[in-house]
Amino acid sequence: MSNPKVLIYAPADEAGDVYSIFEKADCKLVFGKPSWNTPRDENEPDMCATAKDADALTGRSLRSSRITAKVMDSAPNLRIIAKSTIGVDDVDVDDATARGILVTNAPVESNWGGVAEGTMAMILTLIKRTRERDESVRQGKWRDPALNGLYLGGRQDGYRGLTVGLVGFGRIARRVAELLAPWKTRIIAFDPYLDRSQFAKTGVDQVDLPTLLKESDIISLHPILTKENHHMIGKKEFALMKPSAILINTSRGPIIDEKAMVEALEAGKLAAAGLDAFEREPLPADSPLRKFGHRVLLSPHMASATHGESRRAGTEYAIRSVLAAFNGEVPDSVYNREVIPRWKERFGGRKA
């Protein structure tokens, strides 16, 4: 390879010396600025200048700045945008496809498994009222019946337990289902992109979205963010839910119409919510979601963030994708698979 240029636009701060893999492959490395990952709108020109003539872009998720068509056009020989995380909603994928550029993600277990465990933590915190009990004891109170929790699973005495509905049934949701299985909880799921056999393997009942919303006591959202499912949970969907329902979102904020959710909480049409993602991030200081006390559990979009080099695995995965593309090979986990034939015409078999 002739020193291909790699822009690491959002470095994984736990990655350590992992980027030396690129250096051993004679790649020229350029690093993005921390400001690109903060709530600012004027980063595109800076990103374009830094990405100029890059052969690859890689990094973790950007929370405000996006990899736009202009950024891509600054690098005419760009082969690949390799995410070291699962989500690709910070990349204008359609524009990448139109330009014959691969977009890949990193579906490593430390990423999606961490989100699944974070989902479980939110569910248990809300139904067992963990925060309220801690606060009560600190206030000098003891065994207040108002702090009774909900029993999650089924029991031999005939109690059927709560119904958990999973919207989206990819890796994260399937792990949630695995974690819930020992609790003997009824689990239903909606995913229009999977056939029935994918649900049957895990003992989860496949249902349509209206049925899931009507029957679930806990609704957990796990779809990737696309144009089609933007605000897929809105006023109409909240009207179908039980007033006692709990909504969990460890996916992406724009999946939910936040205004409609606030209205549902205010009207008592939604009991509680656990939110790790929001329409605007960081959550604005004047967000009405801050006013609901223990009814709304707030988390700073880091359900997957864990110790133990959790980001390193995703970073290594993304690096392998980039190096494969530099060798003229199609890497694993191509998100926009429809671009592969055109990409092969441009780069297949040819080293960068």
Catalytic annotation, residues: 252, 281, 301
CB 318 within 8 A of CB 58: yes
- In sequence order, the β-bridge partners of residue 206 are 189
- Cβ-Cβ contacts under 8 Å for 112 (sequence gap 6 or more): 86, 170, 171, 172, 175, 304
Q: 9: helix, coil or strand?
A: strand
Report the 10 Å Cβ neighbour count for 253.
18
The beta-strand segments (E) located in the chain are 5-10, 28-31, 56-59, 80-83, 102-104, 163-167, 186-190, 205-206, 218-221, 246-249, 272-275, 296-298
Q: How far apart are the C-alpha atoms of 135 and 146, rounded to whole Å?
A: 13
Q: How far apart are the C-alpha atoms of 303 and 220, rounded to whole Å?
A: 13
